[in-house]
Amino acid sequence: MARLGENRYGKARVRLSRITRESGRHIFQEWTVRVLLQGDFEFSFTRADNSQVLPTDTMKNTVYALARNSKASTIEDFAIEVGDYLLANNSPATSVSVEVSERAWASIAIEGRQDPYTFRLNGPELQTAKVICARGASPSVTSGIEGLTILKTTRSGFEGFFRDKLTTLKPASDRIFGTCATITWQYSSAEPDYAQTRSQVTSILLREFAAHDSKSVQHTLFDMGKAALAAVPAIASITLTMPNLHHLLADLSAFEQDNPNHIFIPIDEPHGYIEATVERD
For the stretch 133-143, pLDDT in tens is 999 999 999 99
Q: Report the amino acid identity of residue 168.
A: T
Provide the pLDDT confidence category of residue 234 given band limits of 50, 70 and 90.
Answer: very high
| Cβ–Cβ under 8 Å, residues 141 and 76 | yes
The answer to the question of residue 1 being in a domain is no
What CATH number is attached to the domain comprising 120? 3.10.270.10
Hey, how many other C-beta atoms are within 10 angstroms of the C-beta on 213? Answer: 11
Q: Residue 169: is its pLDDT beyond 90?
A: yes
153 belongs to the catalytic site: no
Selecting among 32, 56, 58, 241, the annotated active-site residue is 56
Rounded to the nearest 10 degrees, what angle do helices 75-88 and 56-69 cross at? 130
Same domain, 109 and 214: no
In a domain, 143, yes or no: no
Bond preceding residue 192 cis, omega within 30 of 0: no
CA angle 70/73/78 to nearest 5° reads 55
**Boundary residue ending a domain (98, 118, 137):** 137
Q: Do strands 25-39 and 9-22 pair parallel, antiparallel, or not at all (unpaired)? A: antiparallel
Q: How far apart are CA 183 and CA 70, in angstroms?
A: 27
Does a structural domain hold residue 252?
A: yes
Q: Say how far apart CA 156 and CA 220 lie, in whole Å.
A: 9
Question: Does 190 score more than 90 pLDDT?
Answer: no
Mark whether 11 is an active-site residue. Answer: yes
- pLDDT band per the 50, 70, 90 thresholds, residue 69: very high
Active-site pick, 11, 60, 130, 212 = 11
Q: How many domains does the chain fold into? A: 2
Q: State how far the Cα of 140 lies from the Cα of 41, in Å rounded to an integer.
A: 23
Domain carrying residue 270 = 148-279
User: What sections of the chain are H helices per DSSP?
Assistant: 42-46, 56-69, 75-88, 194-211, 217-231
Q: Which of 249, 189, 242 is nearest to 216 (CA)?
A: 242
pTM: 0.93
253, part of any domain: yes
Give the end of a domain, one of 110, 137, 164.
137
> For this structure, is 246 an active site residue?
yes
